[in-house]
Each structure stands twice: as C-alpha cells, then as structure tokens.
Chains A and B, each alone.
Chain A
C-alpha cells in the first residue's frame, strides 16, 4: 500500500529552527510537495522536490532522498505566523497526490 508518515505535532520557539520529517512508500514517484495549511484555510504550496538534494527558498528549505524515501522541511528564524499544519504529499505514478496526515507546528514565544 501507499503510505506517508510525518509527526503529528511539533513545538518550537520563535526565532529557532525546526525540521519536519516525512517518509514515504508509494507506487511510483513523480515528486514530493510540501504545503502549509492554516486552520480553516486551504493548503498553500511551499516546495517541490523531484531530485535528491536540498532546495532553498528563503526561510524554508526542503530536502529529498529518493533512495531512502525521505524528505524534510526546514524552517529557519521561526515566526509566530509559521504556526500551521505542514502537509507532505507525494505524486505517484498516476500523477495523483498521496497526502500525509500533516504535522501541526506550534510556535511559542
């Protein structure tokens, strides 16, 4: 079966760095996405990785290792507005997104 695993909840301090991990087992791989979702809102796109390595975009970076079925989202200089759920999703061989359950990130002052 297809499976995406990520921690349910994480807590971090404002100004700090946090890494959210995602492991996956899917039928085929056409890229991994990270989305941010604030409560009551739709997800917004953060990053896309299809090749191994690190993609940096401002305060957010995303890493992929296809051989390990592993990705992480790195958030630097945390701000209170970063409190949200972070969803990991893998596009499978049918070009459908398989979603993780999301990681709720709580930022404390």
Chain B
C-alpha cells in the first residue's frame, strides 16, 4: 500500500513553454503533499507544501507565480512550471504524507525529469 505516482516520468520542452506534473496518491488520501526539486549530486530541496483545499506554502526563494501548485483533491496535486527556462531543468519529486499511529511517513513518487531546451 501507500503508492504515489507521478506523471509524466520525463519531459523535454522548449524554453518559454509551461509544463504540468501530476502527483497522485493511489491507495490513500493525502491531506498534505510536498514538492521537491533535486539537482544532480545534490539533496532534495523542498519547494512547497501543498494542502488540499488551500493555497500552497512556498519555501523561501521559490517563485509561487512560476511554480503553480494546485491540490484539488485528497489524491491529486499538480505542479505547473510556467514559462520554463533551461535553469528549471531538474528532477522534480512529490511526496504524500500518510499519518501513522506514531509518526508521519512520506511516500515519494518516482520523480519527473524535466529538460528545458
């Protein structure tokens, strides 16, 4: 159980276009989802916390108008990279929180590799 999917797995786009990435919790409901970005040989960088039914909370330095997050249901959050540029090329990973008895566990999607030409 506790599977998180992401779509697409990889995408190549031209500079200036917008790209939408979907994150779904397949067998559980996730009130909270997180979006991360990971550059090569670096650790995960939290971009934003996505809460169902409310606005996302962005980390310092992350442009909310550029990275649009919509958490429309308890099983779906989307990240849209607007007007993508080559510097936005990265590995984007989402995670969903499952509340267990004694702790919150994050389950990660497989990631989306974005390449902007």
Write out, one digit per residue, whether chain B residues 97-111 have a CB within 8 A of any chain A CB (1) or not (0). Answer: 000001111111111
Known interface pairs A87-B43, A99-B43, A101-B42. Does A45 touch B110 (Cβ–Cβ under 8 Å)? no
Tell me whether B109 and A42 are in contact (CB under 8 A).
yes
Give B1 Cβ to nearest chain A Cβ, in Å. 13
Chain B contributes a number of interface residues (CB within 8 A of A) equal to 20
Closest to A35 in B: B108
Binds B, one of A56-64, A73-81, A90-98: A90-98
Chain A residues with CB under 8 Å of chain B are 30-31, 33, 40-45, 48, 50, 87, 91, 95-97, 99-102
Known contacts: A41-B110, A42-B109, A42-B110. The answer to whether A100 contacts B104 by CB under 8 A is: no
- The 8 A-B pairs with the shortest beta carbon distances in the complex, nearest first, are A42-B108, A101-B43, A42-B111, A99-B43, A99-B44, A102-B43, A42-B93, A31-B103
* Contact (Cβ within 8 A) B43 A41: no
Interface of B is mostly: strand
Instruction: Write the chain B residue with the least CB distance to A104.
Output: B41
Whether the pair B111, A50 counts as a contact (CB closer than 8 A) is no
Whole-angstrom distance between the Cβ of A101 and the nearest chain B Cβ = 4
A42-B109, A42-B110 known; A91-B44 Cβ under 8 A: no
What residues of chain A lie closer than 8 Å to B68, measured between beta carbons? Answer: none
Bound complex: CA of A21 vs CA of B42, how far in Å? 18
Q: Which residue of A lies closest to B110 (CB)?
A: A42
